[in-house]
Amino acid sequence: MDVNDDDSTTGWMIEDELAEASANAAPVPAPWRVLIVDDDVDVHVVTKFSLSNACFMGRRLSFLHAYSGEEAINVLRSTPDIALVLLDVIMESSDAGLRVARQIRDELGNKLIRIVLRTGQPGQALEHSIILDYDINDFWCKTDLTTRKLFTTVISSLRGYHDLFDADQRIGALQAELDRLKADLAAAASLAAAK
């Protein structure tokens, strides 16, 4: 019997090639985390379905869900890399979403996350004053937010988050370099004073 005809040995080369190919393949980039905050389960389902094929910079979207303001804050505390929150204004109270928006910026100190407010009751909240008084990035009436507009809003929000995150990383690196240089100068000055 020819060794090449043995079924147990014919696939060894293919398996090794597959293992090597997967080891050399570029890692799949982490998805963008999007938090949907709404007390209406249907809004979660429709939003997720509308954005199910969305992709930005080679990264898909991963959805997290909260059904109240308190739940949203807990998710945000435990998941620091959320890029975007789609936030209902009126949930357990008429201003629950507004309080969450303020907590994100002031209490959690998160200036990077993009906040898109959505309301099903546009007459309940004055859009102009909300945009001026709260550090949000967009405001939509749910009935006006078509699939195309939702997609556009989400992609532009992710782009803004990416740019801010990148700038924040660069500032951090520059600050670390500046701190290192200050420490080196202080050490040199201390050494010179000791001589």
Give residue-wise pLDDT tens across range 41-76: 999 999 999 999 999 999 999 999 999 999 999 999
pLDDT value at 141 more than 50: yes
CB atoms within 10 A of CB 2: 5
Residue 194 has a pLDDT of: 78
Phi/psi at 114 (5° precision):
-90, 135
Give residue-wise pLDDT tens across range 174-190: 998 998 988 888 888 88
Residue 24 has a pLDDT of: 66
Residue pair 52/37 in contact (Cβ under 8 Å)? The answer is no
pTM: 0.77
Q: At what angle do helices 41-50 and 147-194 cross, to 10 degrees?
A: 80
Q: Which two three-digit tokens encode residue 108?
A: 């959690």
pLDDT value at 20 more than 80: no
Section 96-107 average pLDDT: 96
pLDDT value at 36 more than 50: yes
- Domains (ranges, CATH) in the chain? 24-169 (3.40.50.2300)
Going by C-beta distance under 8 Å and a sequence separation of 6 or more, which residues neighbour residue 3?
9
Spatial separation of the C-alpha atoms in residues 57 and 166, rounded to whole Å = 14
Section 117-133 average pLDDT: 74
Confidence of residue 12 (pLDDT cuts 50, 70, 90): very low
